[in-house]
Structure 1
Amino acid sequence: MVHKQVLKSVSPVWAEMIDSQMKESIEIEDFSSKIVCFAVKLLYGVLINLSMENMLSLYLFAQKYHIQILLDFIEEQLIKEISPANVVHLFKFSSPDASNIPKLHQKCINYFMKCLKETIPIYAVESLGETFLASMVLKSLNSNFTDTNV
């Protein structure tokens, strides 16, 4: 059970559904009850520990229902979680062709650059393709050159 006013205040999609249909309940079929429960808890200020998979699903849920407060919160959490083990997955998830999360996408690119400079191995980096990897190497070389005092 969630207060209608809370739903209306955080989501224009839900506000329209509530106002136009005058229903006592909203059915959400595209997401598991677990994801919906996580969203409601976060909306009520309850902090929960989420796995990467749950954060990604919750982001898609918030994106579908235009819940900006959750989008911002999850994006910040995902940025904090970037690592050599998941940067490729987050890069693909945040790309313009997927979820289109520009800030997270840029942070992933920055992380690639850092790993290149520090020769840190990245899991599944080959899945990004030769063109992307070549552009990262070129950017890394250019930034190394411009960073030095010659």
Structure 2
Amino acid sequence: MFQSKIDKTEENKITITAFEFEIVEIAIKYFYGINITVFLNISYGIKLLQFADVYGISDLKKSMESYLYHQKSPMNICEIVNASILSNSIKLREHCFDYFIECMKKSVFIKDLDILNNDFVLNLLKASFSHCC
């Protein structure tokens, strides 16, 4: 699991340098069956989603996809969309896409539209015109 982004030393230690300590610590708690939701916020959820994608931890990835989807709001949806794209989370991206369509229909203000992935915006624009007639 940790083959690609780690350094093993002769002391049977593993050093993970691509993620901050808190993220690795939460992931380890998850591996031991500890409920990690009390440690989570959107930022940690996104980083854990990326961690799970990098190291191929499918159950953690599914858990973070679900967590992030249930935490979505007009104030953080752009950040979650971008994370879903970077983490190859098709299911989360599709759910966010549907949420965007709902927000558009209701004219809901979405924060940080300028950070949204360009391809996602283009697909959203295409979908909005295909549903209008």
Q: TM-score, normalised by structure 1?
A: 0.70
2:34 maps to a residue whose letter is V
Are 2:102 and 1:114 aligned?
Answer: yes
1:136 maps to a residue whose letter is L
CA positional deviation for 1:143: 2.9
Are 2:58 and 1:52 aligned?
Answer: no
Relative to structure 1, the CA distance from residue 63 to residue 125 in structure 2 (aligned partners, 3 Å threshold; closer, same or farther) is same
Residue 35 of structure 1 corresponds to which residue in structure 2? 23
Correspondence for 1:66 among 41, 56, 69: 56
Bigger RCO (CA 8 Å, 6+ sep): 2
CA positional deviation for 1:51: 1.1
SS of 2:131's equivalent in the other structure is helix
CA positional deviation for 1:34: 1.2
Contact 2:84 2:93 in 1 (8 A): yes
Residue 89 of structure 2 corresponds to which residue in structure 1? 101
SS of 2:14's equivalent in the other structure is coil
SS of 2:69's equivalent in the other structure is helix
Residue 75 of structure 1 corresponds to which residue in structure 2? 65
Residue 78 of structure 2 corresponds to which residue in structure 1? 88
Contact 1:88 1:128 in 2 (8 A): yes
Q: TM-score, normalised by structure 2?
A: 0.78
SS of 1:46's equivalent in the other structure is coil
Segments of 5+ residues of structure 2 without an aligned counterpart are none
CA positional deviation for 1:74: 0.7
CA positional deviation for 1:24: 2.3
Residue 148 of structure 1 corresponds to which residue in structure 2? none
CA positional deviation for 1:125: 2.1
CA positional deviation for 1:128: 3.9
Segments of 5+ residues of structure 1 without an aligned counterpart are 1-10, 146-150
Q: Please provide the CA RMSD for this pair.
A: 2.8
Relative to structure 1, the CA distance from residue 22 to residue 129 in structure 2 (aligned partners, 3 Å threshold; closer, same or farther) is closer
Query: Which is greater in Rg?
Result: 1
Identity of aligned residues (%): 28
